[in-house]
Amino acid sequence: MGYAMSRLEMDSELCDGDKTMPEAGSSKRASKSLNKLDHEIAQVTKLNSSPHKQLAKLVPGTQKLSVSPVKMLVGREANYSARGRFSAADRCHMLSRYLPVKGPWLVDQMSTRAYVSQFSADGSLFVAGFQGSYIRIYNVEDGWKVQKNILAKSLRWTVTDTSLSPDQRHLVYASMSPIVHIVDVGSAETESLANITELHDGLDFSSSSDGSYSFGIFSVKFSTDGRELVAGSSDDSIYVYDLEQNKLSLKILAHTSDVNTVCFADESGHLLFSGSDDNLCKIANAEFIKDLEKNVCTWCSCYDINSYCAVKGMVGSVVVERRCFIAKGKPAGVLSGHLEGITFIDSHGDGRYFISNGKDQTIKLWDIRKMAPNATSYSGLRNYEWDYRWMDYPYEARDLKHPSDQSIATYKGHSVLRTLIRCYFSPVYSTGQKYIYTGSHDSCVYIYDLVTGEQVASLQHHKSTVRDCSWHPYYPMLVSSSWDGDVVKWEFPCNGEAQVPATKKRIRRQ
């Protein structure tokens, strides 16, 4: 399955700033405008990526257009904003104009499918995981030199996910097994062969004492303090592993099908988002559930969770900040709207908004204040048999809508088939999270405007499914990885390197 997309050509006129961004490559399936999202997040996004009102007045009568970099610089030098410098919003207004669509340039080429590709939090490292048991860590600041070449241990099927610790000293990798392995990234050894040149300690997420390997892990993340891991599994559960005590600390039976993705809502690490093949997004408060296990109220430390909480003015079994009505060991709230399973979730980072990629070929934007205490998977509209692993999405299902859709926006145009394709918010520093971007089964990377819903770019190079992609946290650079084995980078400025040829010799699969 594939849809013909022309590569976005960014001409020099974009650099002048007096013209709006040219329309992306044409497509019959391009996302339609949302008629400007009428929601609080639209205003937040505008505030985070709009220039100071005094700078905007430099272009009278054209407030709907971007202010050119030249005029922004003139305004700064003349101190029109009375600050003598650019604000974060001014910076985002300038940098968000320059999308990373030039190229691509080859980073690496492997003989097996690429499943994971992610920048570190500071952008100095890049991690790529492949089906052939290899995980490579590249030093971005040292010419993309391979800093760590990891041969995974006891790999089942593929590397399903990886995660770097906040201090970037350790990396964990998961596969279709309850054992997650941890590697010392900071060691001097470049070649990290499991239990040959280095130890890859195994962290057992199974709660059964018989050691049975009855489930696999699709998603794994470090907590913000690096003390815990959270994982989503094929046994419908969310797991939390305590690294300091080296044991499983919590299991939440969160869904009725595979939990394909988990992430933390914000830096506090208390709130978890999860997405599943039961078509539902769920929210859980891990810290509160842990205290319930101890019969301790989170807020006032009283030892009767059914008592009246003196601190928050409610019974201990209610979490108030996000209206998280919670029962012991159960998720706090539910959001429904997808018609098929959810492949990935990315948080806005504020504990309130997140996006999800779905097998119904859509990305949805959510506000957790709209969640319900419970919901069931809705399948009333489905009168067809379909499996995304080997079938195209039914034509008759493309215009179906969930009757109780709680999402606040929907983005269409990409293709979510064959694997758990990932989507993300664009970086805070350079874009103010103005965009959403995603891989796609049709071999492209798509970039959508968060507020208007318009498809602003499509990056075309790969010859197979793009499962993962990552936007540098500070620079206009995006790296995509594909099942064709290529890991390539896209940038705005030309860096003088030779681009990857449009037609290249195909790799023979192992």
Q: How many CB atoms lie within 10 A of CB 311?
A: 12
Q: In this structure, is the dihedral angle defined by the CA atoms of residues 437, 220, 137 and 461, taken in order, positive or negative?
A: negative
Helix axes 69-77, 88-95, angle to 10 degrees: 150
Domains of the chain: which residue ranges? 40-57+66-92, 98-294+328-491
CATH class of 98-294+328-491: mainly beta
Could you give the C-alpha distances from 493 to 15, 102, 125, 322, 395, in angstroms and in order?
A: 10, 7, 20, 42, 40
**β-strands 477-482, 486-491 pairing:** antiparallel
- List the pLDDT tens digit at each of the 510 positions of the chain: 333 333 333 333 333 333 333 333 334 444 444 556 778 999 888 888 777 665 555 545 444 557 777 666 766 666 666 666 677 887 788 778 889 999 999 999 999 999 999 999 999 999 999 998 899 999 999 999 999 999 998 788 899 999 999 999 999 999 999 999 999 998 888 998 877 788 899 999 987 654 556 799 999 999 999 999 999 999 999 999 999 999 999 888 899 999 999 999 998 888 899 999 999 999 987 654 555 444 444 444 433 333 334 333 333 222 323 233 334 456 678 999 999 999 999 999 999 999 999 999 999 999 999 998 877 666 666 667 889 999 999 988 888 899 999 999 999 999 999 999 999 999 999 999 999 999 999 999 999 999 999 999 999 999 999 999 999 999 999 999 999 999 999 998 766 566 776 555 444 444
φ/ψ bin of 197: left (φ > 0), alpha (ψ from -120 to 50), beta (otherwise): alpha
Q: Which residue has the tokens 């064959």?
A: 418
Q: What is the DSSP letter of 392?
A: P
* Cα distance between residue 218 and residue 94, in whole Å: 37
Q: In this structure, is the dihedral angle defined by the CA atoms of residues 361, 366, 370 and 372, taken in order, positive or negative?
A: positive
How far is residue 395 CA from its own chain's centroid?
27
